[in-house]
Amino acid sequence: MTLLDAARKVRENAYAPYSGFAVGAALRTESGAIFTGCNVENAAFPEGTCAEAGAIAAMCAAGERRIAELAVIADGPKPVPPCGGCRQKLAEFGTGDTVVIMATLEGAQLRKTLNELLPGAFGAAQLGQV
Ligand code: THU
């Protein structure tokens, strides 16, 4: 199963009653493992938790930390771009060269690196910790 297939499949489990916008994400780590996530909304915070954040949480819970590639898919007119907060979360666990594949259910695809999505990212280096 490709990363995009995994994202498409997990999207079916999205809980998005407020936005009606179901999103699925799948990431592959440097070890080759795949972790998936879907968006989960709630009444108090209708924007809920993004699919990418769910996949990152699953990766961390499994003890992994390095993202090699991520795919995200939704039923929009254009490939869904990760929100700003998710770009920062992806930068935490990927590199500038990490590829993000964005897709629509209809088959449109866009590929960008994290450097392209979040140029000049704030990171641990600014804290003097790397
Ligand atoms: N959403 C994601 O899950 N990932 C994105 O990259 C963009 C937005 C979700 C959050 C919310 O549940 C819904 O899409 C509408 O913003």
Q: What is the pLDDT of residues 60-89, one digit of tens each?
A: 999 999 999 999 999 999 999 999 999 999
Which residue owns the Cα nearest ligand 1 atom 4?
50
Task: Provide the sign of the torsion angle of the four alpha carbons 31, 65, 57, 103, taken in this order.
Answer: negative
Q: Is 47 a catalytic residue?
A: no
CB-CB neighbours of 91 under 10 Å:
20
Among protein residues, the one with the nearest Cα to ligand 1's atom 13 is 21
Which one of 12, 47, 52, 69 is the catalytic residue?
A: 52
Ligand 1 atom with least separation from CA of 16: 12
Give the pLDDT confidence of 98-126 residue by residue, as tens digits.
Answer: 999 999 999 999 999 999 999 989 988 88
> In 1-130, where does DSSP find H-type helix?
3-11, 51-61, 84-93, 114-117
State pTM to two decimals: 0.96
**The CATH number fitting domain 3-125, selected from 3.40.1010.10, 2.60.130.10, 3.40.140.10, 3.40.50.1100:** 3.40.140.10
State how far the alpha carbon of 8 is from the alpha carbons of 53, 103, 118, in Å.
16, 9, 24
CA separation for the pair 67, 83 (Å, rounded): 17
